[in-house]
Structure 1
């Protein structure tokens, strides 16, 4: 009867007595032995199970040692059961089993041992791990590609943007209102837009990798919102939209990164301008509500279908262009970036819309802080550069170097340009600059090595050394600081960044 019960089980099963000898086995137990090279009778009733295990355990086999230890503990009454997963190499393949052993009250039996084949499960888990690793590697390659793409795009964008600025400044007064100004303004707008897309892609990549850092301070949210309006004003005006701004008279203090928060609200205003028909209405309002600062950005534009609302903050998600065709297009990353930046600040965002053609609204909530001396670092970007400093530009891309040289000379600086590190070091001695703008990705002797040699020279110890890079700042910051740089500027250098640099020198 016992053999019949054991044979009915879907596992390899054996029963041993108090001495460790096998009392009974089922057919599956015997079949496994026959199929995997076990000598006839070596796994049948009457075999000393513990005795068969001891030599392998003594030789250091980890599975045999664990089985022997567990069975001895069961037989000594120190535990009621134990479970062990282990591999088993057969002539054809590696199999995996889970062994379960438990005390039994059936006499003369003492312990029931079962082995269950879990090979399919283990192989599926292994495939899943391999697939996960491949996805992780692909994600890493994607981030590296985005960073490289941003770097490669910034280099050609730098001379384009500089050239447009210089040409617009140098137009004769009688031509200021002609088509030339409009065309140059168009070039400037579109290069700025492209740079914003590149920056958004990089920011999302940094957030995904946990590499983005917030420079938090106590700020007046009203000033952040005013600055965001300045940033988005051009897009709003291009759409001939009416913008209504309603801010409280008293400060609304939050603890956050002023640059990132301004980026959040400028993106929301840009989004409203993009998805609102020509001549539409956009509203920006803010108010304190208990322990929160609440900001509302709404419009009477194209609206959001109900089925899109739950996914509107997903990466690369856009409203169906058959329903809503945005002015200027986009990559579907702006709202995803907004949501992630707000989450880093402990904030939230909600989207609301009654449907296509009925506008949309976005509600942002940020933790408020007690009123105090809120500091802001905001300010309008300078329209023109002013300086009389001596500047050495070391940059291998001649278009970037020459356009930057012309830009700085127009501002009043005395400028020299070198196209490699060695030439730059020679000019350091002959030119004696106040500031060195040094590209990090020079061929041969790169910017880091050039910087170390500049700092080691008598003429370079007091110079203000500024790194220029098309890579994101997080990727270069530690190496830049170690090489002796004072600052790092991402290409193309903005007028604000250059003027701040001149003011500090």
Structure 2
């Protein structure tokens, strides 16, 4: 007894579907009432479909231009050759010439917006080519000429099925209509049906092969796009998570740093106090937390593009001297010798972003200190040639095993030594930021040379700028005693903590949490503030721009320090007065004191 066609289809559809998709069968159970389609193409939501179309057009626009240009040139050359050999009639010449000129016009039209017309131009180009073949055949009216004409459909099919502007349905419709139109024209000029069958069969096979190839190409392109979108979405989700987590923890961390600094100032004159060592350890732990969340914010800002580049001439000696002052105490507590060799001959400056470059080198030095149990750390910038400097951060630490060489720049990677070392902490994201930031800076590159148990050498190559040797004056010790500081922040805990911290430094402090409170506080003042410290984003859609304007209207120009955990756009920073500095939360007491002194002019 024969098998019903429905049963036969049901039994054979799965292996056919598996073959066409080129992958294993999905394990998802389909509802019984859902029909199984052999030719199934992945579909996206409206936004993803729009992005997929835009990406496809941008990728294949160049190919379409080349096809149109070559087609018009070849068609015009073919006409000229046949005119020379007297093989074409005037009507055939006119038809082919119009087609060639039309293709050339379409090529020129692709260079003008909008890009949304690309799909229409691709379809029109293919249709015009088919119409031209049909017109030549009808005008000539010679049945013997059909054999030479229908072969001209083959390159048109290659173009139609090879390009990706038209949808797969539109491409198949075009192929079938073209296969029908040309034999129909042959029939109209008197060609017998039997004589048309070979060309129809061949064109049918070409359409079938072209459709299958295009179908596989469509499946592959859509699967790649979907996987890439998934990866991008995961990266965006991770970035949003880091941004939200870091922002939520920046405020309490800043308050902790302020209280720790106030405690340190309170016991600085009591060397025998048993709490001094505990306060020192507390400060180090808070600084480590601050650095960790700064790294998280740096990575998130780099990935989202919010950490914009501000390229300028950076004095490498000034930068290294500042970092030496910052890391020397940390190295000394680990029993390490930190050696910083400044340049004594040009070039002295590099073309870079001072903030990002400082963060890169800071991470390298911090990493060297944490992975060096004893010995030394050497930081020096050597001249490669007149246009490049190479910064070396070398250490006598544990080195890097060969099998871990490719892992150290991955996020959250920590070496075995650190995991067993109770004196070091961190999440293992410092080097991840170094790599991302180095790739972001133009003409910067990073290399690592290391042998296990023989230390490491991180080398940062940078573009140098030939400028005269600047005269570097030694930095003076910050003295903020007696300075009048006006602080604006929406977080009351931050205001209280900074009040305690700055009061311990001998400053006079006044606080406010909004523009209205700022106006009220200024009305009671007998003197103008020496420095304004304000967060950038405040409640009620107020920003630092509003606070600065209020201060200037009452007191004139006042040095300002923006203390914020958010990434501030270049457009907003351009609106600040010239005497405005930016410092990101959470900031340690040492860094805050240095920036305050710099803003006031006492450091």
Same fold (TM over 0.5): yes
CA distance in 2, matches of 1:365, 1:449: 38
Q: Which has the higher strand share?
A: 1
TM alignment of 1:79-98, pairs within 5 A: 81-82=155-156, 83-84=159-160, 86-87=166-167
Partner of 1:478: 571
Instruction: Return closer, same or farther for 1:320/1:441 CA change in 2, 3 Å cut-off.
Output: same
- Give, in angstroms, the shift of residue 306 of structure 1: 0.8
TM alignment of 1:482-501, pairs within 5 A: 486-492=580-586, 494-501=592-599
Worse overlay, 158-167 or 125-134: 125-134
1:181-223, Cα deviation, whole Å (9 max, x unpaired): 2222222222222222222222222323333344444444344
Partner of 2:275: 180
- Give, in angstroms, the shift of residue 289 of structure 1: 3.0
Partner of 1:71: 130
Partner of 1:206: 301
Which of 314, 338, 345 lines up with 1:250 in the alignment?
345
CA distance in 2, matches of 1:121, 1:450: 56
CA distance in 2, matches of 1:200, 1:451: 29
Extract unaligned runs of 5+ from structure 2. Answer: 1-38, 40-118, 137-148
CA distance in 2, matches of 1:315, 1:98: 51
Partner of 1:426: 520
Correspondence 1:148 to 2:261: no
TM alignment of 1:287-436, pairs within 5 A: 287-291=382-386, 292-320=388-416, 327-343=423-439, 344-355=441-452, 357-370=453-466, 372-374=468-470, 382=477, 384-389=479-484, 391-431=485-525, 433-434=528-529, 435-436=531-532
CA distance in 2, matches of 1:283, 1:453: 46
Does the 8 A contact of 1:151 with 1:469 survive in 2? no
CA distance in 2, matches of 1:323, 1:424: 49
Extract unaligned runs of 5+ from structure 1. Answer: 1-34, 36-60
Worse overlay, 127-136 or 229-238: 127-136
Partner of 1:166: 262
CA distance in 2, matches of 1:88, 1:248: 64
Does the 8 A contact of 2:561 with 2:596 survive in 1? no
Partner of 1:231: 326
CA distance in 2, matches of 1:315, 1:142: 12
CA distance in 2, matches of 1:306, 1:442: 50
Instruction: Return closer, same or farther for 1:345/1:430 CA change in 2, 3 Å cut-off.
Output: same
Give the secondary-structure state (helix, strand or coil) at the position aligned to 1:289.
strand
> How many pairs does the alignment contain?
435
Does the 8 A contact of 2:369 with 2:377 survive in 1? yes
Does the 8 A contact of 1:155 with 1:400 survive in 2? yes
Which of 206, 212, 235 lines up with 1:139 in the alignment?
235
Does the 8 A contact of 1:303 with 1:354 survive in 2? yes
Correspondence 1:443 to 2:533: no
Does the 8 A contact of 2:371 with 2:418 survive in 1? no
Give the secondary-structure state (helix, strand or coil) at the position aligned to 1:399.
helix
Does the 8 A contact of 2:239 with 2:303 survive in 1? no
CA distance in 2, matches of 1:429, 1:161: 31
Give the secondary-structure state (helix, strand or coil) at the position aligned to 2:232.
helix
Worse overlay, 188-197 or 208-217: 208-217
1:219-251, Cα deviation, whole Å (9 max, x unpaired): 443443333222222231122123444555324
- Give, in angstroms, the shift of residue 254 of structure 1: 3.0
TM-score (norm 1): 0.72
Worse overlay, 129-138 or 293-302: 129-138
Instruction: Return closer, same or farther for 1:327/1:414 CA change in 2, 3 Å cut-off.
Output: closer
Instruction: Return closer, same or farther for 1:221/1:87 CA change in 2, 3 Å cut-off.
Output: closer
Partner of 2:287: 192
- Give, in angstroms, the shift of residue 156 of structure 1: 0.9
Worse overlay, 406-415 or 321-330: 321-330
CA distance in 2, matches of 1:245, 1:423: 47
CA distance in 1, matches of 2:380, 2:268: 42
Does the 8 A contact of 2:480 with 2:507 survive in 1? no
Give the secondary-structure state (helix, strand or coil) at the position aligned to 2:486.
strand
For the aligned residue pairs, the C-alpha RMSD in angstroms reads 4.2
Correspondence 1:267 to 2:363: yes
- Give, in angstroms, the shift of residue 287 of structure 1: 2.6
Give the secondary-structure state (helix, strand or coil) at the position aligned to 2:402.
coil
Does the 8 A contact of 2:518 with 2:550 survive in 1? no
